[in-house]
A and B are shown apart, each in its own frame.
Chain A
Amino acid sequence: MKKTDTIIIGAGPVGLFAVHQLGIKGLNSIVIDNLDKVGGQCIELYPDKPIYDIPAVPECTGEELTKKLLEQIKPFNTIFFLNERVEEVKQDKENWIVKTNNHNEFSAPNIIIAGGVGSFEPRKLSVKEAEKFENKSLFYAVRNKEQFKNKIISIFGGGDSALDWALELSKFSKINLIHRRNEFRGAPHTLSEIKKLESEGKILIKTPCQLESIEGDENISSITIKFDSGKTEKIKTNVVLGFFGLIMKLGPIADWDLNMNKKTIEVNSENFETNKKGIFAVGDICNYPGKLKLILSGFHEVALASVECFKRARPDEKYRFEFTTSSKTIQGRLGKK
């Protein structure tokens, strides 16, 4: 079990800034996120979209904001546990024990939930047989492309993931690319490559149509697709890959006995503590009178929450408010001389 001062759940902008606010107060932290990279919604939903309301930053994209925040917290050498979801939170006297789906265990006096709208999970196919084949011959991500060699693969989706994998897997498998409309959305180079492979017969494109059913016993043997015209077609298939983007699910947070309001966690606006002492909620996931779901509100929330975190992590020390401009201690922690 790893001990730390604060366990931060969620590596979005607010979770990252929490590292900073704790760090300058001399507290260490670890960060857990279900995505494979830091940045949360900023990186997953709008990496290229400009944001105009970060104070003193007239314009920056989600990706730029994430990079800047990572630079800002670099001095603290924080460890990130990515691709991990917190499954269980339980109390152990003054501390909280957190367990992840990757069998990591952490203990800390504080937990900061900066979970946004929950954890990102792939959007799944809605036909009822889909579940039975999931992770056997139906996948929503490619972890090991070796397992897709010399197969007939039907790829659903019209965005970057669908197109990139169609190209990659066409090197050693037969590909059907199926999309609900005629337009695909991808880099121009990728689109022209796809067109070329289609003319060579290596990729078969089926549009505009959607999945009607999946057939097979243990493994998928075929799929039936339905065109907009109403016509259906049965296609021999060994593997189905679905790329419909990610959705946000609250997940296990709902089971931690926190006071919830719809999909948000109720906190006080003094230190953003929940109904459980030592568990804080900040950013989009928290709720209090007047709450605005803005990144800048999240920054304010972690600044205040980190003060209470200090008091709980260092009960024998007195908290002193300090400015980064004048505090030699803070400057030392930031590696400045």
Chain B
Amino acid sequence: MPKITYKNNQGKFKTIKVENGLTVMEGAIQNDIPGIDADCGGSLACATCHVYVEEKWLDKIPKAEEAEVDMIDMAYEPKKNSRLSCQLTVSDELDGLIVTTPAKQS
């Protein structure tokens, strides 16, 4: 199973195994990772599962669609490497992915 590392903005991190097909957001929610709220439940409607993707992974993950980029405008402190974790589906290619949660989601 692919391993995903969730870092908080203080640098503390937790690495967990997430089943293929789940999203990075679902991996966090199911494992009680703090810092990801996912208020809308993954319907691309709220930007509270916002994460920063480690630079070297940016090219390896599928590009954000327009709707996601629009929604990131609404996120807390968006940056160039901002993504919504509900739109990142875990696969073997994402094994080792590192994401950082923002200081807060709302």
B-binding residues in A (CB < 8 A): 41, 45-46, 49, 117, 123, 126, 157-159, 179-181, 183, 185, 228, 244-245, 247-249, 263, 284, 293
Contacts and interface: CB of A to CB of B under 8 A. Distances in A.
A46 B70 CA distance: 13
A126 B77 contact: yes
Nearest to A228: B80
Contacts of A185: 70, 73
Nearest to B66: A185
B91 to A, nearest CB: 25
Interface stretch (B6-14, B19-27, B45-53): B45-53
B43 interface: yes
A247 B106 contact: yes
Given A180-B78, A244-B74, 5 more contacts: A41-B40, A46-B45, A228-B80, A247-B39, A247-B46
A244 B76 CA distance: 9
B17 to A, nearest CB: 23
State the main secondary structure of chain A at its contact with B: loop
B96 interface: no
B46 A244 contact: no
A211 to B, nearest CB: 10
Contacts of A45: 40, 43, 45-46
Contact of B39 (A159, A245, A248): A248
A287 B84 CA distance: 25
A244 B73 contact: yes
Contacts of B40: 41, 45, 117
Contacts of A180: 73, 78
Nearest to B102: A126
Contacts of A181: 69, 73
B103 to A, nearest CB: 8
Contact of A158 (B41, B45, B46, B73): B73
Contacts of A244: 73-74
26 contacts: A45-B40, A45-B45, A45-B46, A46-B43, A117-B39, A117-B40, A123-B106, A126-B77, A157-B73, A158-B70, A158-B73, A159-B70, A159-B73, A179-B73, A180-B78, A181-B73, A183-B69, A185-B73, A228-B80, A244-B73, A245-B47, A245-B73, A245-B74, A247-B48, A263-B39, A284-B41
Interface in B62-95: 69-70, 73-74, 76-78, 80
Nearest to B71: A245
A283 B59 CA distance: 39
A248 B46 contact: yes
Contacts of A158: 70, 73
A123 B69 CA distance: 17
Contact of B45 (A41, A123, A157, A228): A41
A123 B47 CA distance: 11
B5 to A, nearest CB: 23
Contact of A123 (B43, B70, B74, B80): B74
Name which of B47, B74, B76 has the most chain A CB atoms within 10 A of its CB: B74
A41 B45 CA distance: 9
A333 to B, nearest CB: 35
B83 to A, nearest CB: 14
Contacts of B41: 284, 293
Contacts of B43: 45-46, 49
A284 B78 CA distance: 27
A169 B51 CA distance: 35
A51 to B, nearest CB: 10
Closest 10 CB pairs of A and B: A245-B74, A45-B45, A247-B106, A117-B39, A248-B39, A185-B70, A293-B41, A158-B73, A244-B74, A126-B77
